[in-house]
Amino acid sequence: MVQDNKKRVCLYGLDQLALIIICDSGVIYDNQTAGNSCLQKNEEGILTVIFDDLGDILKSLAEFTINKIRLTESDADEINKILWNRSATRMLSVDRDKLDESVEAWIYVDISPNEELVKDIEEKGEDIYPTYEFRGFGRCKGVLTWNNSD
């Protein structure tokens, strides 16, 4: 086990979609990832639950990434389609610089309005960020995580 002065939270029992907003918080979140490969991933930050009342975001992400041990550019495109079609996740996009570190149940994301979607959303009179989520962080990085499939 890593010895440090940080507090640690294990997410193995997580039964919903969550986002770790990466920042210096003093808390490290651990999760098992990559399906049967059972990789151990961790990141420091602040955890927030993604409101997914129908469970369709989680289901789509879990089915698409099952047993993936790294993402490709094509995978990132497909995951972005999933994220951008739901109001709860439309401010997220796959972090292309972290594709090799993104796996099932652990996807690095950029947190900011997608420029391609902003115009369409504003024309509809909708808010870029969901009202029930998080605000005030600006553009930052995060990790989408959920319960590993193994």
The pTM (predicted TM-score) of the whole model is 0.86
User: In the sheet where 18-22 sits, what is the strand order?
Assistant: 7-10, 27-33, 39-49, 18-22, 140-145, 106-111, 92-94
pLDDT of 111 higher than 70: yes
Q: Are 129 and 90 in contact (CB under 8 A)?
A: no
Q: What is the average per-residue pLDDT within 124-140?
A: 66
- Whether residue 1 has pLDDT greater than 60: no
Q: What's the confidence (pLDDT) of residue 51?
A: 85
Query: What is residue 129's predicted lDDT score, i.e. its pLDDT?
Result: 59
Query: How large a percentage of the chain has pLDDT more than 90?
Result: 59
- Is residue 130's pLDDT more than 60? no
Q: DSSP string spanning 84-128?
A: HTSTTTTTEEE-GGGGGG-BTTEEEEEES--HHHHHHHHHTT--S
Percentage of residues of the chain with pLDDT beyond 70? 84
Nearest 10 degrees: Cα torsion 7, 12, 15, 17: 60
Q: In the chain, where are the structural domains located?
A: 7-145
Q: What angle do CA 82, 108, 129 make, to 5 degrees?
A: 55
pLDDT band at 132 (very low <50, low <70, confident <90, very high): very low
Q: How confident is the model at residue 117 (pLDDT cuts 50, 70, 90)?
A: low
Cα 130 from Cα 12, distance rounded (Å): 26
* Selection from 53, 104, 96, 54 nearest residue 76 by Cα: 96
